[in-house]
Amino acid sequence: MSQTREGTKTLYLVDASPYIFRAYFSLPETIVSPLNRPMNAVYGYTHFLCDLVEKTQPQFMAIAFDESLGHCFRNDLYPPYKANRDLPPVDLAAQLKACQTITHALGIKTYVSDHFEADDIIGTIGHRLRRRDFSMVYVSSDKDLAQLVCSGDVLWDYARNRRFTPVTIRRHFGVTPEQFVDYLALMGDAVDNIPGVPKVGAKSAVQLLKRFKTLTSLYNRIDEVEKMMLRGAGTIRRNLEAYRGQAFLSQQLARIHTRVPLRCSVEQLRRKRLRQRELGVLMEEFGFGDRLNKQIGRIFA
């Protein structure tokens, strides 16, 4: 699965957090290290990564981790950004670094930032490597990455085995990947605490973008909104005018940053050999049994 079309290489860009959190909340707390440290998130994440590599046999891969869980550059623009989310439990936070460590030991390039989010890291790497004739497979359950998907790319919600291309993104959401930021800017995003415009929901946002294409064009032609066959068109127009600044702020918050200062050469993104000695020490420290050890040996041999 290293080629999507002739002459184009495939880069797998993985958003680690959804799979770490999923493992933490779905696996029993009884999975602990010999020193009684919680290991359920690390164990589940490692299984996920092994399964992904076994299915795809990627030649090029990178994993992005979120370390900016309490604050990122978006909070400088809008302090309430993601303020509705609780910080990870202490026993989960302690496992995040271990997930990074084992990823490195498996020969896969890891990226983390305390100022930018994993989406921004992924967006930056994809932006740069596209110029090197790569297509992207974005492995994440986060719909926000839909804005990155270009022709030849796939957004893969691995846990649900749902794959989105530009065509299926439009079919599913009603907007194109190029419109996705403006779609979020209009309707907001309760998960990330992006405010959007009051009274503009997903259906209204789709109808507005179908007519005006972009947020800027919508505001340039705002007089036309009341003439649309749109439920509550008068209220929507008044709210669009009253919350113009909030709409463009929401656009900034929703847009994935593609200029993160990082290094990502083709060679750095090439999957490396298993680091046997380092991995052996980790397996002993984490207390992972023979089953996982054998799986790693079979896949990464």
Q: What is the pLDDT of residue 89?
A: 87
Q: Residue 238 sits in a domain of what CATH number? A: 1.10.150.20
- How do strand 154-157 and strand 3-5 relate by DSSP bridges? unpaired
Domain of 82? 3-173+257-294
Count how many domains the chain has. 2
Output the 3-class SS for the chain. CCEEECCEEEEEEEECHHHHHHHHHHCCCCCECCCCCECHHHHHHHHHHHHHHHHHCCCEEEEEEECCCCCCHHHHHCCCCCCCCCCCCHHHHHHHHHHHHHHHHCCCEEEEECCCCHHHHHHHHHHHHHCCCEEEEEECCCHHHHHHCCCCCEEEECCCCEEECHHHHHHHHCCCHHHHHHHHHHHCECCCCECCCCCCCHHHHHHHHHHHCCHHHHHHCHHHHHHCCCCCHHHHHHHHHHCHHHHHHHHHHHCCCCCCCCCCCHHHHECCCCCHHHHHHHHHHHCCCHHHHHHHHHHHC
Whether 300 maps to a domain, the answer reads no
Q: What is the pLDDT of residue 94?
A: 86
Q: How remote is the C-alpha of 26 from its chain's centroid?
A: 20
pTM of structure: 0.94
CA proximity to 108, closest of 150, 59, 151, 173: 59
Q: Residue 128 sits in a domain of what CATH number? A: 3.40.50.1010
Q: What is the pLDDT of residue 7?
A: 59
Answer yes or no: do 182 and 87 share one domain: no
Answer yes or no: do 265 and 121 share one domain: yes
Are 167 and 159 in contact, with CB atoms under 8 Å apart? no
Answer yes or no: do 165 and 67 share one domain: yes
CA proximity to 85, closest of 64, 68, 70: 70
Answer yes or no: do 34 and 120 share one domain: yes
Answer yes or no: do 60 and 191 share one domain: no
Q: What is the pLDDT of residue 248?
A: 98
Per-residue pLDDT of the chain (301 residues; tens, 9 = 90+): 444 445 579 999 999 999 999 999 999 999 999 999 999 999 999 999 999 999 999 999 999 999 866 689 999 999 999 998 888 888 898 899 999 999 999 999 999 998 999 999 999 999 999 999 999 999 999 999 999 999 999 999 999 999 999 999 999 999 999 999 999 999 999 999 999 999 999 999 999 999 999 999 999 999 999 999 999 999 999 999 999 999 999 999 999 999 999 999 999 999 999 898 999 899 999 999 888 888 888 888 7
Whether 67 maps to a domain, the answer reads yes
List of residues 6+ apart from 36 with CB closer than 8 A = none
Answer yes or no: do 122 and 139 share one domain: yes
Answer yes or no: do 58 and 168 share one domain: yes
Alpha-carbon span 207 to 197, nearest angstrom? 14
Answer yes or no: do 89 and 211 share one domain: no
Answer yes or no: do 151 and 84 share one domain: yes
Q: Which long-range contacts (CB under 8 A, 24 or more apart) does 45-48 make?
A: 45/16, 45/19, 45/20, 45/99, 45/102, 46/99, 46/102, 46/288, 46/292, 46/296, 47/23, 47/292, 47/295, 48/19, 48/22, 48/23, 48/158
Alpha-carbon span 184 to 195, nearest angstrom? 9
Answer yes or no: do 162 and 231 share one domain: no
Whether 301 maps to a domain, the answer reads no
Answer yes or no: do 240 and 262 share one domain: no
